[in-house]
Amino acid sequence: MDSKEAIGVASTFLDGRGIGYCEPIKVFPKGEEGFVVILTVPEALDPNVVVDPPEVRVLVSIIGRKAELLPDM
């Protein structure tokens, strides 16, 4: 799995739950587990709106191509 595939898995996961996201998107390797995909919340791009946190973090597992939301601290 590469970063583009990880973004695809994370996108499908968020779409299935009705969670909006947009670019910029960041991808970081998470050891041998998989990737952490960080997607921007669309409302965070509006300068008149305060969104906390301004992004959604998804852990994408290489094994089974599973995704789960990560808490943002």
Mean pLDDT per block of 10 residues along the chain (73 residues) reads 94 95 94 93 91 93 94 73
The per-residue pLDDT for 2 is 92
Give me the residues paired with residue 35 across strands. 29, 60
* Maximum alpha-carbon separation in the chain: 41
Amino acid letter for position 54:
P
Burial, 38: exposed, middle or buried (Cβ in 10 Å; 0-12, 13-18, 19+)? buried
The answer to whether the beta carbons of residues 27 and 35 sit under 8 Å apart is: yes
The per-residue pLDDT for 71 is 87
Closest CA to 62 of 41, 31, 16, 38: 31
